[in-house]
C-alpha cells in the first residue's frame, strides 16, 4: 500500500517535472527571441513530430505520462505515432493515420469552441 | 498666415471655444478621472460591440464639445476626425449623427494634433469659422485589430503599452478670449528601423524629437520658453528616449516634458510603459491639460502627439514602423 | 522607393534602444512557466488516473484525457480566466494542450460579432490553423517516410 502511494506520487512528480520542463524551454525561447504564442505552438508541435519520428519521444511518454502528452509536443507525438502505426498497414493508412490519431483533440477543440462561442460573449479587460 | 520651414503661424490665432472628453473605467481611476466630462463604468457604453462603443464615445465627445461651445449645429463648418480602426469607421460613423461636413483624417495616435493643425489652418485661412476636432480609441477594438483576440492567453512584454479607452474633442473658432492656437509644425515621417510592434515608444520617439526640434528652430524658441512640452503616447520608455534624442542635439526638455501616455495610468515600468492610442492624447489634452491651461497654470504648451503609421499587413511583411508627430503650440 | 529601406536603418539608434529596454524578468517568468506548465500536466495525469479507474485504456484513455483538458481550456477561455493565467504563466499556459484550446476558442468568441459563418467559424483557426496545417503535413511526411523505410 505504502509503495503504491509513493508510486503514484512519483508519477505526478515526473509529470510535473517533464511537463514543466517543456514549458520552461518554451519560456526561455520566448524570453530571448520575440516569438509569438502561435509560432511557439507550431515549433513545439513540429519538435514533437520530429522527436517521435526519431524514436526519442516514445521513451519520454513512457517515463513521464501526462507530462509528455499534455504539452503541444504531445500532439505532435500523437500525429507522428498515428502515421507510423498507419505506415505498417499500407499507403492509405500512412497518409490518414496522423489525423485519425489526432481526431479526438481536433474534434473536441472545434465542438467545445463552438459551444463556448454560443454561450459566452467577448469581454474587455482592464489589466 | 505665414510660414517658416514646416511651421505655419496664424496671424489671427483661432481659439479653443470648448472641449470635452469621455474616458473608460480604467482611465477614470487615473489623473484624468476627475477632469473628464463623461466617465464610463462599463467600457461597452451600452453597445454590443467594441467598435460601436468606440463610435459612441467619439460621438458623445463631439456632441458635448459642440454643446459646451454654445454653437448650434448649423454654425459648425467642419468636423475633422479620425481614429485607429480600419477605414476610420468610428469617426465616419460618428459623423452620421451630425449635419455639418466631415473631413476624415488619419495619422494614428497623432490624429488629435493633426486635426487641430488642419482645423486652425482652415480657420486661419478664412475658409471656416468653426471647426470641431475629435478623435478616440478603444482598448478592445484596437487589441482586436492590431494584436490578438482578447481572450488569447499570451504574455504582454514589459515594453508594451495599453490602448486608452476614451475620446476627446474640441471646438476651434473665433472668440475674444480663450486658449489660442498660435502656430503649428507639420511632421515628417521618421523611420529609424524599429520593427518591434510592442515597442511603440522607441519607434515614435525619433518622430517626436524631430518635430519638436524643428518647431524650436522655426519659431526661434527654446525649451525653457514653454511651460509644458506635451507628447502623445510615448510611454515611460519613449519619454526617456525623446529626452535623450533632443538633449543630444542641444535641447534640454527634461524639465518640462510630460507624456500623456505616461501620466494617464499609474505606470509600473517593469510591466507596461503607459497608455497609447489616439484616445490617449485626446482625453488627456481635452480634460486635464486644457482645464489647467484655462486656470492659468500653464501659459504656453507645445502639444506634439505622435503616431505609428503601421498596419498588421506591413508588420506581417516584416516592415519597420514609420512614425509621425505633428506639433501645435497652445497659448492662453 | 525612397532611401528609407532596410539597408538604411539607423543602426546606432537600434543599438541604443536595446540598452533602454526594460529588463526581462527571466527568473520569475521561467519559474511561473515551469510551475503552471507542470501543474497542468499534473491535472492531466490526475484525469488519466481517474479515467483508468473507470476502465479506459490505451488510445481511448489518451484521447479522453486530452478531450477533457481541451474542454477545461475552452471553458476557462469562455469564462475569461485563461488569458489571466496566460499573462502570469507565459509559456506555462501556452504550450500545454489547454493553450491550443484557448487559441481556438478565443477568436471564436471574439469574432462572433462579425457573424457566425465568416466571423466565428472562419476565424476560429486564425491562430491554431497553423498547428493543424503543419501537424497534418508533417504527419503525412512521417507516415510516407516510414512506409518506405
Q: Which of B152, B173, B194 is the last residue in one of the domains?
A: B173
Does residue B190 sit in the same domain as residue B135? no
Q: In the prediction, which pLDDT does B258 show? A: 93
**Are residues B151 and B197 both part of a single domain?**
no
Q: Give long-range contacts, CB 8 A cutoff, 24+ apart: B42-45.
A: B43/A124, B43/A126, B43/B138, B43/B139, B43/B140, B43/B165, B44/A124
| Nine cell digits for residue C20 | 533602454
Q: Examine the fold and report which residue of B173, B195, B222 is the final residue of a domain before the chain moves on.
A: B173
**Short-list B290, B232, B292, CA closest to B262:** B232
Handedness of CA B258, B264, B267, B272 (dihedral sign): negative
pLDDT, residue C122, reads 93
Same domain, B89 and B165: yes
Q: Does A3 touch chain B (CB under 8 A)?
A: no
Closest-CA distance, B245 to chain A, in angstroms, reads: 26
Helix, strand, coil abundance in chain A, percent, nearest 5: 85, 0, 15
Task: Per residue of chain B (332 residues), give pLDDT as tens.
Answer: 789 999 999 999 999 999 999 999 999 988 999 999 999 999 899 998 999 999 999 999 999 999 999 999 999 999 999 999 999 999 999 999 999 999 999 999 999 999 999 999 999 999 999 999 999 999 999 998 988 888 888 778 888 899 999 999 999 999 998 999 999 999 999 999 898 888 899 999 999 999 999 999 999 999 999 999 999 999 999 999 999 999 999 999 999 999 999 999 887 777 788 999 999 999 999 999 999 999 999 999 999 999 999 999 998 888 899 999 999 999 98
How far apart are the C-alpha atoms of B71 and B20, rounded to whole Å? 14
Residues B127 and B108 placed together within one structural domain of the fold: yes
Say yes or no: C82 contacts chain B, CB-CB below 8 A: yes
Chain A residues within an 8 Å CB radius of B150: 122-125
- pLDDT number for residue B281: 93
The domain of B263 spans 180-331
Q: What is the CATH number of the domain that holds B227?
A: 3.40.47.40
Closest to A126 (Cβ–Cβ): which among B26, B148, B157?
Answer: B26
Q: Which residue in A36, A37, A124 is closest to B140 by CB distance?
A: A124
Helices and strands in chain A: count of H runs, count of E runs: 6, 0
Q: Does B139 touch chain A (CB under 8 A)?
A: yes
Both B317 and B206 in a single domain? yes
Q: Is B54 touching A (CB cutoff 8 A)?
A: no
Burial A31-56 (b: 16+ CB within 10 A, else e): beeebbbbebbbbbbbbbbbbbbeee
Which pLDDT tens digits describe chain A residue by residue (127 residues)?
788 889 889 999 999 999 999 999 999 998 888 788 888 999 999 999 999 999 999 999 999 989 999 999 999 999 999 999 999 999 999 999 999 999 999 999 999 999 999 999 888 877 6
> Which chain A residues are within 8 Å of B198, Cβ to Cβ?
34
- In the block, cell 526581462 appears at C24
Residues B146 and B244 in one domain: no
Give the mutation candidate from C22, C72, C74, C78 for the B interface (greatest B CB count, under 10 A): C22
C-alpha separations of B98 from A110, B12, B72, B174, B223 in Å? 44, 28, 11, 21, 40
Q: Can you tell me the distance from the alpha carbon of B3 to that of A89, in angstroms, rounded to the nearest whole number?
A: 81
Kindly state whether residues B113 and B44 are assigned to the same domain: yes
Higher pLDDT, C23 or A63: A63
pTM comes to 0.91
Query: What single DSSP character describes residue C21?
Result: S
B316 and B256 in a common domain: yes
Instruction: Note whether B163 and B187 are same-domain residues.
Output: no
At residue C3, does pLDDT exceed 60?
no
Q: Which of residues B257 and C6 earns the better pLDDT score? A: B257
Which residue, of B141, B173, B205, is where some domain finishes? B173
Interface mutation vs chain B, best among A124, A125, A127, most B CBs within 10 Å: A124
Residue B141 and residue B233 in one domain? no
Residue B165 sits at the chain A interface (C-beta within 8 Å): yes
Give chain B's domain count.
Answer: 2
C-alpha cell at B125: 485661412
List the subunits that have 3+ CB pairs under 8 angstroms with B: A, C
Q: How far lies B107's CA from each of A46, B46, B114, B135, in Å?
A: 41, 28, 7, 11
Q: Is B165 found in the same domain as B17?
A: yes
The whole-angstrom distance between C43's CA and the closest CA on chain B is 19
Q: Which residues contact A50 (CB under 8 A, 6 or more apart)?
A: A76, A80, C138
* pLDDT confidence of residue A108: 95
Closest to A40 (Cα-Cα) out of C37, B201, B325, B274: C37
Does A27 sit within 8 Å of C112, measured CB to CB?
no
> Would strands B179-185 and B2-4 be described as parallel, antiparallel, or unpaired?
unpaired
The whole-chain average pLDDT of chain C stands at: 89
| Res C1: pLDDT | 43
Same-domain pairing of B156 and B212: no
Cβ neighbours for B95, distance < 8 A, ≥ 6 positions apart:
B79, B81, B102
Total Cβ atoms within 10 A of residue B212: 27
Amino acid at each position: 500500500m505504502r509503495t503504491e502511494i509513493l508510486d503514484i506520487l512519483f508519477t505526478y512528480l515526473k509529470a510535473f517535472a517533464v511537463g514543466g520542463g517543456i514549458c520552461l524551454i518554451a519560456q526561455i525561447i520566448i524570453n530571448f527571441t520575440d516569438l509569438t504564442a502561435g509560432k511557439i505552438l507550431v515549433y513545439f508541435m513540429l519538435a514533437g513530430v520530429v522527436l517521435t519520428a526519431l524514436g526519442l519521444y516514445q521513451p519520454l511518454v513512457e517515463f513521464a505520462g501526462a507530462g509528455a502528452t499534455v504539452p503541444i509536443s504531445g500532439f505532435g507525438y500523437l500525429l507522428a505515432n498515428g502515421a507510423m502505426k498507419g505506415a505498417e498497414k499500407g499507403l492509405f493508412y500512412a497518409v490518414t493515420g496522423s489525423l485519425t490519431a489526432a481526431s479526438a483533440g481536433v474534434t473536441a477543440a472545434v465542438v467545445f469552441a463552438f459551444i463556448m462561442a454560443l454561450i459566452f460573449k467577448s469581454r474587455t479587460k482592464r489589466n | 498666415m505665414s510660414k517658416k520651414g514646416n511651421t505655419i503661424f496664424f496671424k489671427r490665432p483661432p481659439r479653443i471655444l470648448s472641449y470635452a472628453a469621455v474616458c473608460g473605467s480604467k482611465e477614470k481611476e487615473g489623473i484624468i478621472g476627475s477632469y473628464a466630462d463623461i466617465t464610463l463604468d462599463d467600457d461597452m457604453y451600452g453597445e454590443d460591440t467594441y467598435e460601436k462603443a468606440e463610435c459612441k464615445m467619439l460621438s458623445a465627445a463631439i456632441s458635448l464639445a459642440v454643446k459646451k461651445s454654445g454653437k448650434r449645429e448649423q454654425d459648425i463648418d467642419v468636423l475633422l476626425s479620425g481614429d485607429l480602426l480600419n477605414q476610420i469607421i468610428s469617426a465616419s460613423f460618428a459623423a452620421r449623427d451630425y449635419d455639418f461636413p466631415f473631413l476624415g483624417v488619419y495619422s494614428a495616435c497623432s490624429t488629435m494634433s493633426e486635426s487641430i493643425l488642419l482645423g486652425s489652418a482652415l480657420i486661419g485661412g478664412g475658409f471656416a469659422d468653426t471647426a470641431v476636432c475629435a478623435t478616440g480609441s478603444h482598448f478592445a477594438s484596437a487589441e482586436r485589430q492590431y494584436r490578438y483576440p482578447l481572450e488569447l492567453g499570451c504574455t504582454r512584454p514589459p515594453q508594451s503599452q495599453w490602448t486608452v479607452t476614451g475620446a476627446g474633442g474640441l471646438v476651434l473658432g473665433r472668440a475674444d478670449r480663450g486658449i489660442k492656437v498660435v502656430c503649428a509644425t507639420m511632421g515628417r515621417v521618421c523611420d529609424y528601423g524599429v520593427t518591434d510592434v510592442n515597442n511603440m515608444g522607441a519607434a515614435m520617439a525619433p518622430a517626436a524629437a524631430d518635430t519638436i526640434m524643428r518647431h524650436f528652430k522655426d519659431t526661434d524658441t527654446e525649451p525653457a520658453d514653454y511651460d509644458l512640452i506635451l507628447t502623445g503616447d510615448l510611454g515611460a520608455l519613449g519619454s526617456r528616449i525623446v529626452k535623450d534624442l533632443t538633449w543630444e542635439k542641444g535641447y534640454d526638455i527634461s524639465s518640462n516634458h510630460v507624456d500623456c501616455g505616461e501620466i494617464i495610468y499609474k505606470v509600473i515600468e517593469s510591466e507596461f510603459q503607459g497608455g497609447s492610442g489616439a484616445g490617449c492624447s485626446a482625453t488627456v489634452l481635452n480634460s486635464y491639460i486644457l482645464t489647467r491651461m484655462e486656470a492659468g497654470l500653464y501659459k504656453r504648451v507645445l502639444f506634439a502627439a505622435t503616431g505609428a503609421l503601421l498596419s498588421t499587413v506591413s508588420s506581417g511583411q516584416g516592415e519597420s514602423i514609420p512614425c509621425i508627430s505633428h506639433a501645435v503650440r497652445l497659448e492662453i | 522607393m525612397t532611401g528609407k529601406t532596410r539597408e538604411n536603418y539607423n543602426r546606432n539608434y537600434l543599438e541604443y534602444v536595446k540598452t533602454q529596454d526594460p529588463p526581462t524578468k527571466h527568473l520569475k517568468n521561467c519559474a511561473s512557466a515551469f510551475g503552471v506548465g507542470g501543474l497542468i500536466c499534473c491535472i492531466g495525469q490526475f484525469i488519466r488516473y481517474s479515467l483508468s479507474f473507470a476502465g479506459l485504456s490505451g488510445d481511448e484513455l489518451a484521447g479522453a484525457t486530452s478531450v477533457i483538458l481541451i474542454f477545461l481550456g475552452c471553458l476557462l477561455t469562455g469564462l475569461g480566466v485563461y488569458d489571466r493565467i496566460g499573462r502570469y504563466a507565459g509559456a506555462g499556459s501556452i504550450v500545454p494542450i489547454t493553450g491550443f484550446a484557448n487559441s481556438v476558442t478565443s477568436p471564436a468568441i471574439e469574432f462572433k460579432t462579425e457573424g457566425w459563418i465568416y466571423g466565428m467559424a472562419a476565424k476560429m483557426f486564425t491562430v491554431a490553423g497553423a498547428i493543424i496545417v503543419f501537424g497534418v503535413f508533417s504527419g503525412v511526411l512521417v507516415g510516407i517516410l516510414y512506409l518506405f523505410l
